[in-house]
Amino acid sequence: MTVKKKILPLLVFAVSLLHCTAAVQAAPVLAGHTGLAAQTLDGDAVRAVLLGKKITLGGIRVVIVVARAGDAQNAFLQSYTGMTTSQFLTYWRRLFMTGGGSAPRIVDTEADARKLAAEIPGAIVILDSSNAAGLTALAAN
């Protein structure tokens, strides 16, 4: 009984620690192709780039890469644009189909998005910060 009483708080502490670590790891980040390494974006610039109002970064045409689903991406988009991923894609479809911008590249998973963003000059992508290896961080949520 005494042992259980001592172990329980330790378990709670350990679970809390894990939870906190997970929360840190789950932080969404806007990352880009390594050619954008010199760029750091503030909130206004992030919003402008995501909504197609700012089309180049450092003279390079921005290519937005979007995963069909992704919690980090959804949270980031909601925070900066007020849109869900679905609404964001609808916004871009409207822009693209009316001659107002170049459509984002759409892939299935966050891993596919990271891979594609690493290949295309000017590509930007929203990822979990722990999954952004090989890319340069442009802005955090």
Partner 1 sequence: MVWRWLTRSAKGLACGLACGPMGIPARGADNPPGLSDSLQSLWKQATTTVQFGGFVSQGFLANTGRNNYLGQTSKGTFDFREYALNASYAIGQFRFGMQVFGQKLGPYGDDNLEIDWATADYQPAQWFGLRAGRVKMPRGLYNEALDLDSVRPFVLLPQSVYDARLRDFNAAFNGAMVFGNVGLKKLGSLDYRVFYGDIPIATDSGASDYFNNDFPSNSLDFKMDAVIGGSLFWNAPLTGLRMGYSFSSFENLRSTREATLQLSALAPLASVVGTKQTDHYGRHLFSIEYTKGNWVLAAEAGREQAFYHVGTRGVHIADTDFTSNYFYLSAARRINPWLELGAYYSYSRDTESLIGTTTIPMGKSPALTQADLALSARFDINEHLTFKLEGHYMDGAGKIFDTVQNPQPVADRDAAWFLFAAKLTYSF
Q: Which residues of this chain interact with partner 1, rule CB under 8 A?
A: 44, 47-48, 53-56, 59-61, 63, 68, 79-84, 86-87, 89-90, 92-94, 96-107, 120-121
Alpha-carbon distance 44 to 126, whole Å?
16
Closer CB to partner 1, 45 or 137, in the complex:
45
Please classify residue 23 by burial: count the beta carbons closer than 10 Å to its beta carbon, then call 0-12 exposed, 13-18 middle and 19+ buried.
Answer: exposed
Alpha-carbon distance 94 to 73, whole Å?
20
Taking the complex as a whole, how short is the minimal distance between the CB of residue 18 and partner 1, in angstroms? Answer: 30
Taking the complex as a whole, how short is the minimal distance between the CB of residue 55 and partner 1, in angstroms? Answer: 6
Taking the complex as a whole, how short is the minimal distance between the CB of residue 23 and partner 1, in angstroms? Answer: 22
Closer CB to partner 1, 18 or 121, in the complex:
121
Amino acid at 7: I
Tally the residues of the chain: 141
Which three-class secondary structure state does DSSP give residue 105?
A: strand
Closer CB to partner 1, 60 or 137, in the complex:
60
